[in-house]
Chain A
């Protein structure tokens, strides 16, 4: 088929399209929507004693979760930029995404160091009640992720793997903050295995999920 024929075919009788919302509107929708979902989850399903327990009033809790929120916001910014084709991506994508990833790497590394070999060997992370965290992961990570991936199919990304990674990192970061209101366990090994490593695992899976489920342009 000749290019001129293709142009004639494409331009013949086109229908109006509704443009995507602006960058900041999409950013607000992604962040705000996730925050609302997680807040509702906490209000409806969290045990009030745990949600307002002593563990959330410590400086360590505040600093840790502030860092996680910053990582989530940076990943959200990168995901919003990746929704639309653009050549000018170094500032909008690579720097925020790398920074968010480094924050998480730092947190995981720090928690690994705090865990100690004796706790690993004692199997302190495996007691049954820790499996409750699996349910929280489904509520706070998986459901919002599914909703976001469905929404992302309206966008037109060229880097689907990176978008999948950025979106997953954003959602799971906010979800990890939410999980602290469901779970009062502050043992570093528990946090590492049931709160932080799922974020890492799901974010890496997000690369493949992005390639599989986000529409190819």
Chain B
């Protein structure tokens, strides 16, 4: 375990932290606009933090997204008397360590692109091979992620509707959908799709 003192928190000034703290408190009260503004403003800071520690740009993007998701799940844990940067970078570091561990276990490559829509279109255009591969890929997912992907991307339900159907919170649906996309990217990249 390592720690950083407040003076070492990178790329943030005290006014930033005070502002982010106010935005976070507003977000905890349900203010969507404040929350969107906060996430937009902290994303470059998280990316800069990760850039110094991760080598590849696509890795930084992935870990940034995982950090934002984790931050979203943990937003009830931010306390007003805690410096915002400590909380945010605590989560970012944790996600970075998680990512590095997974990389060393899987050594997987990730593909770019919004491939699900591409494949859904290919399927609609009767390209049987792509359609078959997508079906095969989706069938490898855990049941929850598979159902959510099918409901959102193929049947066109919104996240809120899926959450109601599955008896889950919207946050849990968003997290499961994101993780499903990541798994499919890895699976399809292995098959040569980019």
Contact = CB atoms under 8 A, between A and B. Distances in A.
B174 to A, nearest CB: 6
B174 A9 contact: yes
- What's the dominant secondary structure at chain B's contact region? helix
A9 B176 CA distance: 13
Interface in B59-109: 61, 64-65, 68-70, 72-83, 85-87, 89-91, 93-94
Nearest to B114: A1
A6 to B, nearest CB: 5
Given A93-B1, A217-B70, A85 B87 contact: yes
B129 interface: no
B1 A3 contact: no
B178 A162 contact: no
Given A14-B30, A84-B82, A7 B93 contact: no
A9 B35 contact: no
A15 interface: yes
B48 interface: no
B79 A23 contact: yes
Contacts, number: 118
A215 to B, nearest CB: 9
- What's the dominant secondary structure at chain A's contact region? loop
Nearest to B173: A9
A7 B76 contact: no
Nearest to A157: B77
B141 interface: no
B165 interface: no
Interface in A1-51: 1, 3, 6-20, 22-23
Contact of A1 (B77, B83, B181): B181
B13 interface: no
A30 to B, nearest CB: 16
Interface of B: 1, 3-6, 9, 27-30, 32-33, 35-36, 39-40, 43, 61, 64-65, 68-70, 72-83, 85-87, 89-91, 93-94, 114, 159-160, 170, 174, 178, 181
Interface of A: 1, 3, 6-20, 22-23, 83-90, 93-94, 154-156, 158-159, 162, 217
Given A6-B178, A84-B78, A158-B93, 10 more contacts: A9-B159, A10-B68, A10-B72, A11-B33, A13-B160, A19-B77, A87-B89, A87-B93, A159-B94, A217-B94
